[in-house]
Structure 1
Amino acid sequence: MTTSDVMQDVLGVILGGGQGTRLYPLTQKRSKPAVPLAGKYRLIDIPISNCLNAGIEKIAILTQFNSVSLHRHIYRTYRRDMFTEGWVEILAAQQTLQGNLWYQGTADAVRQQLTEIQRSNAKYVLILAGDHLYQMDYREFVRYHIETEADITLAVQPVEAKLAAGLGIVKRNSDGQIVEFCEKPDLDALDELESMPDSDKPFMASMGIYVFSMEMLAELLASPGNDFGKDIITGVLSERRVMGYVFDGYWADIGTIRRFYEANLEMVSPTRPFDLNNARRPIYTHPRFLPPCEVYGAKLDQVLLTDGCRIYDAEITNAVIGLRSIIGSKVVIKDSVIMGADYYESEEDRTKNRQLGRPDVGIGEGSVIAGALIDKNARIGKRVQIRNLSDRPDETHQNWAARDGLIVVPKSAAIPDETVI
């Protein structure tokens, strides 16, 4: 059987995540997978694109918290025509005669939707996270699972000792079989978890990506346990053949405001580790019919500039400028992520908002923004100053928040003229 034939028997199951408290306030009005990425995408586009590029045509997305915008994006973007056998569908948390609880963890989410998952008639199930940034060829992952005759296969990544304590670390023997699994191990326990002692990255971190046969998945979920890593897999290491597939490419777990910020700005660099321009593995997203960008007298250096923007004589350095961004004259933006807007304001709307004392959507003239995340549809007035302070404590205000040393302006927030943050 060819690889393409095998992939037709694979169901991709993408976990929509929990409340996303560590990404608050970006998750105040949306789920984690719906958070914008690189100016024009959403986090959910990454695993869906990886599936489609690997020939996985059946994709189920398990959703729960703040899921309306995520559902809208999926329905608008991934509609398959009548000549395609595959589908992308949403399996939302629901009350049934069998239970009325929210998903209690990764394994519990799959367990609650197991009947629908089994109806796909897939032979293999690929479990994915909806908030990771990476490009993996799932064909190689599934092939490794089959060739090693594994019961379960985890994707693992080599990491340095300084990162290991914050991750799920597995110990992999010379045959690739996982013999130990420890979630966020203490420093004292790390010496016993080295998989490659002579390497500068001696530890193997679980990426939260798994392959099971459908039968094995159903069998494992018949036992108690809410989480795949902490409960299900650690409980069967001595009984099942659990293999570790090594992925040594770029991988970012977008779990915190700081990591989200860093991952976006990494893509601005000319030597970025994540390739947005890979013609063989495109990243799919909602197609928009936006005008070209208009730039008048601006100075742009190391900027990721997306569609439909209007920029006047601003100075922008090391920044992501999202869709429909309007940036006024004499604005300075540095080391920041500007997510743009969902719409253009009409002149009538601008007039009404000004009468109410609200700035226009976008960045007003003379404003300075450094080390900040400005969410969609935000209104930044004229001569506003927003600067990050490394020692600033986390705090939340009506129209802005400080998180991980960064300033975050939430979606649709308004910052009046002359404000200093």
Structure 2
Amino acid sequence: MNRSHLFSFSPMDVITVILGGGAGTRLFPLTKERAKPAVPIAGKYRLVDIPISLSINSGLRRIFILTQFNSSSLHRHIQQTYRFDDYSQGFVEILAAQQTPKGAYWYQGTADAVRQNLIHFASHPHDMVLILAGDQLYKMDYRVMIEQHIETCADVTVGITPVPMKQASALGILRVNEEKRIVAFVEKPKEKEVLKEFAISDPFLSLYHIPKDSAYYFASMGIYVFNRKTLSNALVGAEPDFGKDIIPSLIRTHRVYSYIYPGYWEDIGTISAFYQANLDLCHLHSNFDFYDSHFPIFTRPRYLPPSKILDATIENSLIAEGCIITGAKITHSLIGIRSIVQPETCLKDTVLLGNDYYETESQALSAEGHGLPRIGIGNNSFIEKTIIDKNSRIGNNVKISPAGKPQNYDGDFYYIRDGIVIIPRGGVVPHGTII
């Protein structure tokens, strides 16, 4: 849906910069061989598809993606997915960390990543820079935020959202006045006195229908609109991060406003957050809508066949395309592309990320000759509260459950994080294994 005529600026006034994320240690082992934005979501997408798609839907088609850690699969996905025709002025350009005559070090933080690439942005006319994270789940029309930025004559606008106390200590928390101008910022506060000082009060509680029976806080979403000159000047120096360094400094000297986003927003920063966000998509009315025809989420076209489901029972689950499910029972689970699930197997509260390829009969026989199960989930197995990464081989008569086990544990061929079992990418669980 094109509503650009409603806004006072041209898409050519803005460039989008998407941060590829750091090492993603809290999402390990899903980030063992891939960057955080390359982590699969919803059975067929990657996390980076969210900000790229929202930017495209907002009419902002000049997009830079800054990458560093484990970036090969992320690069491949972007190159295979996002191509504009020769007659448009749109592009999705990858800027990987590199050695230059001015420096031979990796990005030291979010601000440093942008600082090192200012020379590339300067090649394209723009007045504003929209900076986004590559590992979040939400849906926003960025044009509304940019329009507010212009109307308030802001130097910087920060996207913020209300969060409960249990999330506040892990995020950057802000205090704003009635004009939505940011007057204070604190990074990941732990002290009760500080939290009390930053709690949201009226009129914002009433205006945004925030529950009054418990404490809520405005948290930075890691989404920023900078005026070009403000960004360039702010990045002169050694400060590495926007949240910890740049924004708190600018609050004292510049017009820094907030754009309050009241909708669903999830920072996919932990295994628990990733697991819950995926399983929420299995509900009829999930928090995030992948079925919005006006703001579609794009991803790589794989041209897969429909899923084949034979003599199976499936309840409250999401099944991606290209799957073959035979005689299984699947309850409240997300099944990714090309998944193979054999008879008499039960999956419950499980996120199965799927496969990158179909195994031929000769490949399967060769694997069995080496004592390996076939790719997918074998016969007569029971799996609950588990994340199974891509291209895994789960044998027959396998039982996987975190019940009675530590919240965090490293096994021989599995991990437990936040009370959830994880089988890593390409993992092998032999026949008859009990986890």
TM-score category of the 2 structures, normalised to the smaller one? over 0.9
1:5-404 matches, cutoff 5 A: 5-185=9-189, 186-197=191-202, 199-200=210-211, 202-389=216-403, 392-404=406-418
Aligned residue for 1:265, secondary structure, equals helix
Report the residue type matching 1:7 in the other structure: P
The CA distance in 2 between the partners of 1:361 and 1:387, in whole Å, is 20
Contact 2:339 2:355 in 1 (8 A): yes
Q: Runs in 1 of length 4+ with deviation above 6 angstroms?
A: none
Q: Write the deviation string for residues 133-191 of structure 1: whole angstroms up to 9, x where unpaired.
A: 00001010100100000011000001223322222110000111000000111222112
Report the residue type matching 1:32 in the other structure: K
The CA distance in 2 between the partners of 1:349 and 1:13, in whole Å, is 42
Report the residue type matching 2:68 in the other structure: Q
Report the residue type matching 1:44 in the other structure: V
Contact 2:331 2:347 in 1 (8 A): yes
Which moved further from structure 2: 195-204 or 20-29?
Answer: 195-204
Which moved further from structure 2: 111-120 or 57-66?
Answer: 111-120
Q: CA deviation at 1:5?
A: 4.7
Which moved further from structure 2: 171-180 or 114-123?
Answer: 114-123
The CA distance in 1 between the partners of 2:21 and 2:216, in whole Å, is 29
Contact 2:407 2:420 in 1 (8 A): no
The 1:159/1:393 distance shift into structure 2, 3 A limit, reads: closer
Q: CA deviation at 1:2?
A: 5.4
Q: Write the deviation string for residues 174-233 of structure 1: whole angstroms up to 9, x where unpaired.
A: 111000000111222112113425553642111011000111110110133100011011
Percent of counterpart pairs with the same letter? 48
Which moved further from structure 2: 385-394 or 16-25?
Answer: 385-394
Q: CA deviation at 1:307?
A: 0.5
Aligned length: 421
The CA distance in 1 between the partners of 2:120 and 2:281, in whole Å, is 37
Q: CA deviation at 1:79?
A: 1.3
Report the residue type matching 2:295 in the other structure: R
Q: Write the deviation string for residues 391-421 of structure 1: whole angstroms up to 9, x where unpaired.
A: 5142223421111101000111110000000
The CA distance in 2 between the partners of 1:230 and 1:16, in whole Å, is 18
The 1:354/1:209 distance shift into structure 2, 3 A limit, reads: same
The CA distance in 2 between the partners of 1:183 and 1:5, in whole Å, is 32
Contact 1:265 1:320 in 2 (8 A): yes
The CA distance in 2 between the partners of 1:373 and 1:296, in whole Å, is 24
The CA distance in 2 between the partners of 1:391 and 1:351, in whole Å, is 35
The CA distance in 2 between the partners of 1:361 and 1:278, in whole Å, is 33
TM-score, normalising length: structure 1: 0.98
The 1:2/1:120 distance shift into structure 2, 3 A limit, reads: farther
Contact 1:33 1:130 in 2 (8 A): yes
The CA distance in 1 between the partners of 2:51 and 2:169, in whole Å, is 26
Report the residue type matching 1:407 in the other structure: V
The CA distance in 2 between the partners of 1:5 and 1:47, in whole Å, is 20
Contact 2:12 2:125 in 1 (8 A): no
Q: Write the deviation string for residues 240-299 of structure 1: whole angstroms up to 9, x where unpaired.
A: 110010000000000000110000001111121110100000000000111111111100
The CA distance in 2 between the partners of 1:389 and 1:64, in whole Å, is 37
Stretches of structure 1 lacking an aligned partner (at least 5 in a row): none
